[in-house]
Amino acid sequence: MFRSLRHPNYRIWAAGAVVSNIGTWMQRTAQDWLVLTRLTHHSASAVGTVMALQFGPQLLLLPWTGFAADHYDQRKLLMATQATMAALALTLGLLTVSGLVQLWHVYIFAFLFGCAAAFDAPVRQTFVAELVGDADLHNAVALNSTSFNAARMIGPAVAGLVIASVGMGWAFLFNGASFVAVLGSLFLLRLNGHQGRARAHRTKGSLMGGLHYVWSRPDLKAILVMLFLIGTFGLNFPIFISTMAVGVFHTDARGYGLLSSIMAIGTLSGALLAAGRGRPRFASLLVGSGVFGLGCALAALAPTYWLFAAALVLIGVAALTLTNTTNSLMQLSTEPAMRGRVMALRVGVALGGTPIGAPIVGWVADHLGPRWGLAVGAASGVAAAGVAIYAMTRSVHATPSKSP
């Protein structure tokens, strides 16, 4: 389950990442709570707008982010993106602590964070292959998710305590300081033992090469359609959890932070299960999508806070099964020189649909109620499962039968 940790470079990288991830989840929790309770009067639409601005650049900058991941030095690019996000977090923290922060400030910083993250995400995902090699790639992807979701379990709960005791701005400041850990780990990587994959050559049309490559692959197209459906309408957890916490269960910042941490129990479990599996299979996408839809439906119907929390655990397991499997499948089935562009497409489709889905889900939660917002998430899981069934059926029919 932890075999990737035998690689020294991966151990260094993972140690820095877990500290930074805790800060990231503290900021996400504080940002949603700031918008929902201080800068607006419980407006789910405003939270949806923040999400749209934060994740929109993943799609807007798609040709350039994938190109950068495949053509530039990944370690240096990661240092630049991580340092940029640190500076943005510290600045937003100072504005919040000083009491000067306004809603338009959050909108601008969300967009700038999104731009930096758009360049960071495909590099960070393909960089793992350089640290461990293809043989341990699936395990390393799962352990990355384990780290991210262990931080997701800790960060929101800590953020809730920080918000209740000293204020929201300090959560942003802690996140800014936490980037020192991941930047330090990048400096400490032992480059002599670092086996980087070949960089892609710059040729005419290479900027859009990932799109042409994916278009020729029915399996990759099916995965991206599933990611679009669930990423656009299902992975809107800040809206789902915050509106249910405030509008249905009437809890405070600590109760909201606890719900986010409880969901992380599910995502952490899903990541550990993925780490223990062998090579990823397309059937896991069907299971993950179906269970995700079921979990969202149960959460929408949950009559109490704790039953809602239990449904979040199920959603977390399903979401991680889906996202981890798509990550590993797409990397392992893609030519190494194309991975940056293909993974940029993956991230862009999974998160870039948020500018479409988050405002819609926020509007539904505001006008029809938070439970109906979750119903939209449930429908996205069912639709994605339908795409998986169609793709698997086509694959079986396309495979010629063997003669007896």
Model confidence pLDDT, tens digit, residues 357-401 = 888 998 999 899 999 999 999 999 999 999 999 988 887 555 444
- Per-residue burial over 18-49, b if 16 or more Cβ lie within 10 Å, else e, is bbbbbbbbbbbbbbbbbbbbebeeebbbbbbb
Residue 97 has a pLDDT of 94
All residues at 6 or more sequence positions from 26 whose CB lies less than 8 Å from its CB, including other chains? 155, 156, 158, 159, 162, 171, 174, 175
Model confidence pLDDT, tens digit, residues 278-296 = 677 888 899 999 999 999 9
**Of the listed ranges 45-59, 187-201, 298-312, 364-378, the one predicted with least confidence:** 187-201
Task: Provide the pLDDT confidence category of residue 128 given band limits of 50, 70 and 90.
Answer: confident
Q: What is the CATH number of domain 217-397?
A: 1.20.1250.20
Q: Which amino acid is at 184?
A: G
User: Residue 217 in 3-state DSSP?
Assistant: coil
- Mean of pLDDT values over 81-96: 96
User: Over 50: is that where the pLDDT of 320 sits?
Assistant: yes
All residues at 6 or more sequence positions from 10 whose CB lies less than 8 Å from its CB, including other chains? 4, 128, 131, 132, 140
Model confidence pLDDT, tens digit, residues 214-249 = 888 888 889 999 999 998 899 888 889 888 998 899
Q: Residue 219: is it exposed, middle or buried by C-beta count within 10 angstroms (0-12/13-18/19+)?
A: middle
Residue 376 has a pLDDT of 95
Task: Provide the pLDDT confidence category of residue 194 given band limits of 50, 70 and 90.
Answer: very low
Residue 277 has a pLDDT of 66
Q: Where are the domains of the chain?
A: 1-189, 217-397
- How many Å is the maximal CA-CA distance in the chain? 77
Contacts of range 51-54, beta carbons closer than 8 Å, 24 or more positions apart: 51/110, 51/236, 51/238, 51/239, 51/354, 51/358, 52/354, 52/355, 52/356, 52/358, 52/359, 53/107, 53/110, 53/111, 53/114, 53/355, 54/110, 54/111, 54/113, 54/114, 54/117, 54/354
The CATH architecture that domain 1-189 belongs to is Up-down Bundle (1.20)
Task: Provide the pLDDT confidence category of residue 82 given band limits of 50, 70 and 90.
Answer: very high
Does the fold of domain 217-397 match that of domain 1-189? yes
Q: Is the pTM of this model over 0.85?
A: no
The number of CA neighbours under 13 Å toward the Cβ of 346 is 26
All residues at 6 or more sequence positions from 303 whose CB lies less than 8 Å from its CB, including other chains? none
Percent of the chain with pLDDT over 70: 91
Distance CA 64, CA 292 (A): 32
